[in-house]
Amino acid sequence: MLGLLLCDHVPENLQHLGGDYPDMFRKLFPETSMRVYPVCEGVFPKSVDECDAYLVTGSRRSVYEEEDWILQLKKFVRQIHEANKYYIGICFGHQMLAEALGGKVQKSEKGWCVGVHEFEIVEKTDWMQAPKKQLNLLMMCQDQVQVLPEGSILLAKTPQCPVGMFVVGNKMLGIQAHPEFSKAYDKILMEQRVARIGEEKVKDGLASLALETDELVFASWVRGLCGI
């Protein structure tokens, strides 16, 4: 059983593009049994043993904010680590893994990463079946991991994001990308956030959507890691 720790919702006026985040992850992992916990609304597992693995989603919030549910999530991630459970962190969840275990997250000096980015694999693992030298994945972030927690291994980077993917031990994985996003959803987010992201970055991001993406390869790697 995969526990989906939901840290945000897709705005209702955009859910026609692919549903809410649980729908996106069910499409990415169609054969995986999931239990959804809307932690952004204060709903957490009663015990870390309720699920075999946990996936922490993206969020419009930042992991260093002092919101009650964010502070509680940090504690729960530490419990996952102590219990030696599997963990997959996506964007905010990637940053949460770093922050909860002693790393550091802040806004990148390089600004936003949007559209398709090439993740260069710098360290290979045995669960990376059909190994590739790089993955093209969608991004939508401003915060980035600046300092990795102790015991981490960097797995991938991009020119705009030095900590693109990392593991802690052999069961906890974080990736800055959004493999669950569709290009249509990433596109409309860029178009709605031009004032925040900047016209030039949005222009480049929209053009990058012509590239093929490798979310299914990443999904296969996650299955190889934790068997979901």
91 is catalytic: yes
Q: State phi, psi for 70 to the nearest 5 degrees.
A: -70, -40
d(CA 215, CA 56): 17
Catalytic one of 99, 118, 180, 215:
180
Q: CB of 190 within 8 A of CB of 115?
A: yes
- Please tell me what DSSP assigns to residue 148: P
Catalytic one of 7, 51, 178, 215:
178
d(CA 124, CA 103): 22
Instruction: List Cβ neighbours of 109 (8 Å cut-off, separation of 6 or more).
Output: none
d(CA 218, CA 132): 10
Q: CB of 194 within 8 A of CB of 105?
A: no
- Please tell me what DSSP assigns to residue 4: E
Angle between helices 199-208 and 183-192 (to 10 degrees): 170
104, burial (CB in 10 Å: exposed 0-12, middle 13-18, buried 19+) = middle
Catalytic one of 91, 141, 161, 226:
91
180 is catalytic: yes
Any idea which residues carry the catalytic annotation?
91, 178, 180
